[in-house]
Structure 1
Amino acid sequence: MTALTAADWQAIQLTLTLAFYTMLLLLVIATPLAWWLAGERRGLSVFSYWLRTLVQTVVALPLVLPPTVLGFYLLLFLGPQGVVGNTLQQLGLPHLAFSFSGILLASVLYSLPFAVQPLQQAFEQLGRQPVEIAASLGAGPVDRFFTVILPLCRGGFIVAATLSFAHTLGEFGVILMLGGSIPGQTKVLSIAIYDHAEAMNYAAAQQLSLLLLLFSFVVLFVVYGARRKIGSL
C-alpha cells in the first residue's frame, strides 16, 4: 500500500471542509424551507398550491438531473461571462467559477434535497399543534424552535445533516464542471481519485476510494444507529 501524498491529504482536507460548510449552510437554508413545504395544504389558494409544488419540484430536481448538467449551467451563470460572474467582476470582485466559493454554492444546490426532504418529513409528522400550543403559552418563534421543534424533530435534523455531509463527500460531476481540478481550491477527493485513475495510478486511486467508502459507511452506520436509538426513547 502506497503512502498518501501531500496532495492527497490536501484533497481530503478540502473535501471535509467543503462537506462541513455545505452541511451548515443547508441546515440554515433547508429548515425554514422544509417548514414552509410541510405546511397545511388544505385551504391554500390556487396560486399558493402551485407555488409550493413548483418549489418542491425545483428542490428535488438534483435527484434526477445529471450533475454535469447542473455544473454546466452554474459555470455559465457564475463564470466571467455569466450574469452573476460578470456582475461580480464589474464590482471589482472575482467570479465564482473555479473557486472554493463556487463549488460550495454548487454543493449546496446539489445536496439541497438531501437536507430538505428529511426535515419536511419530520415536520409533517410533528404537525402544527405542538407549536401552536407553545405559542399560546407565550413562547416566541426562537423559543418554539429550540424547545419544541428541534427536540421533537431531532431525528430529521440528524438525517438531514448526515446525508448532506456524506453526499458532498462523493460529489464529482458538478464540481468538475464548475471547479475543475485546482489543488487547494477545487480538487476534492473525488477529483483526486479521477486524476489518479486517468494517470493509471490505480494503487493511489484504490486507496483513496477505499478510504472514502469506509468513511461514508461509518458515518451512515453511526447516524442511522443513533436515529434508531433516539426514535426508541
Structure 2
Amino acid sequence: MGGRALSDELWSPIWLTIQLAGITTFTLLIVGIPIAWWLAWSTSRWREVVGAIVALPLVLPPTVLGFYILVALGPQGLGGWFGHLAGVRSFAFTFEGLILGSVISSLPFMVQPVRNSFEAMGRRPLEVAATLRASPWDRFVTIALPLALPGLLTGAVLTFAHTIGEFGVILMIGGNIPGETRVLSIAVYDFVETLRWREAHILSVGMLVFSFVVILLVSLLARKSKGRAL
C-alpha cells in the first residue's frame, strides 16, 4: 500500500503538469499566432506598446505577475464575475486558474519566436501569391505558416518547457492542492522542504531528461523544416 501511495504521489503531479503544459501550448498556438502576425505587420503606432505588454512576463518577477493574476482571479476581480457565470466562487487555487495564469506567463515564449519568423520571411512571398489571386487566408495558410514553421515549433517547445518549469506564478495562484494544483515544480519544492530527497531526485531527473529530449527533438524538426523551406 505504501508503494502504491508513493507512486500515486509522484504520478499525480506529472500527469497534472503534462495536462497543464499541453492545454497552455494549444491555447497559445491559437491565441499567439494572430498576435504575432499583427505585431509583425501592423503599422499601428500602438504596435510596440502592445509588444511591450506581451513581453512583460519575461522581465516581471513571477511572484509579482502571480500576485496580480491572483487578484484578478479572486472574488473581487474578473475571476469572480466569470466564476459567477460558471457557478463557482472564483478561479483562484483551481486548475482552470492555473491554465489562465500559464497562458499569460508563457505568452511571450510563443509570440516572440513566431513574430520573428513572420518578419524574417518578408512580404515578398505574400506579394507574389497575391499577384496569383490568392486570398489573404490562402496566403496566410499556404505561404506564411509553412515558412514560419521553425518559429512555430520553437514557440511551442518554449511554451511547453516554460509551463513545466514555472514555479512562482503557479505557487501564487494555485498553491499546493494535491490532484488540483500540485504540479511538478511545486511537488519538487514540497519534497525538498520536507527533506524527502529521493522523491525530489526522481522528479527532478525526470524533468531534466524529458526537457532535454523534447528540446532536442523539436530543434531537429525545426532544422529539417528550415532546410526544406530553403
TM-score w.r.t. length of structure 2: 0.91
Give 1:220's aligned residue. 215
Deviation (angstroms), 1:73: 0.6
Q: Match for 1:87: what amino acid? A: W
Q: In structure 1, what is the equivalent of residue 140 of structure 2?
A: 145
| Residues 138-163 of structure 1: CA deviation (Å, up to 9, x unaligned) | 32333222211121111111111111
Residue 174 of structure 1 corresponds to which residue in structure 2?
Answer: 169
Instruction: Please tell me the root mean square deviation across aligned C-alpha atoms, in Å.
Output: 1.7
Name the stretch that deviates more: 189-198 or 142-151. Answer: 142-151
Query: What is the aligned partner in structure 1 of residue 11 from structure 2?
Result: 9
Q: Following the alignment from structure 1 to structure 2, what is the Cα–Cα distance between the partners of residues 165 and 192? A: 18
**Contact 2:83-2:91 within 8 A present in 1 as well:** no
The code of the aligned residue for 2:79 comes to: G
**Distance in 2, Cα, partners of 1:85 & 1:222:** 38
Change (3 A) 1:89 1:109: closer
Partner of 2:120: 125
* 1:202 matches 2:204: no
Over 3 Å counting, the alpha-carbon distance change for 1:116 and 1:89 in structure 2 is: closer
Aligned to 1:34: 36
In 2: Cα distance, 1:7 partner to 1:148 partner:
47
**1: CA distance, partners of 2:69 / 2:103:** 12
Distance 2:87 2:79 in 1: 9
Runs of 4+ residues over 4 Å off in structure 1: none
For 2:130 and 2:96, the matched residues in 1 are separated by 39
Aligned residues between the structures: 224
- Distance in 1 (CA, whole Å) between partners of 2:221 and 2:85 is 47
Distance 2:83 2:100 in 1: 18
Q: Which structure has greater helix proportion?
A: 2
SS at match of 2:180: coil
Return the letter of the residue paired with 1:159.
T
2: CA distance between counterparts of 1:168 and 1:76? 21
Give the unaligned 5+ runs of structure 2.
Answer: none
CA distance in 1, matches of 2:56, 2:104: 10
**Correspondent of 1:155 among 136, 142, 150:** 150
Give the aligned residue type for 1:20: G
CA distance in 2, matches of 1:109, 1:197: 28
Instruction: Report the CA distance shift for 1:207/1:89 in structure 2 as closer, same or farther (over 3 A).
Output: closer
- Taking the aligned partners of 1:158 and 1:57, their CA distance within structure 2 comes to 23
In structure 1, the partner of 2:95 is 100
| TM-score where L is the length of structure 1 | 0.90
Secondary structure at the counterpart of residue 111 of structure 1: helix
Q: 1:3-23: CA deviations, max 9, x gaps?
A: 952021011011001101110
Residue 195 of structure 2: SS of its match in structure 1? coil
Cα deviations by residue, 1:21-54 (Å, 9 ceiling, x for unpaired) = 11011111111111111116xxx4xxx32x1111
Which amino acid is 1:130 matched to? P
Deviations along 1:60-98, one digit per CA (max 9) or x if unpaired, are: 11111111111111111111222x123234446221101
Structure-2 residue corresponding to 1:111: 106
Rounded to whole Å, the distance in 2 between the matches of 1:128 and 1:101 is 39
Q: Render the CA deviation track for 1:100-147: whole Å, top value 9, x for unaligned.
A: 111101101101111001001100011122223323323233322221
State the identity as a percent. Answer: 51
Equivalent position of 1:191 in the other structure: 186
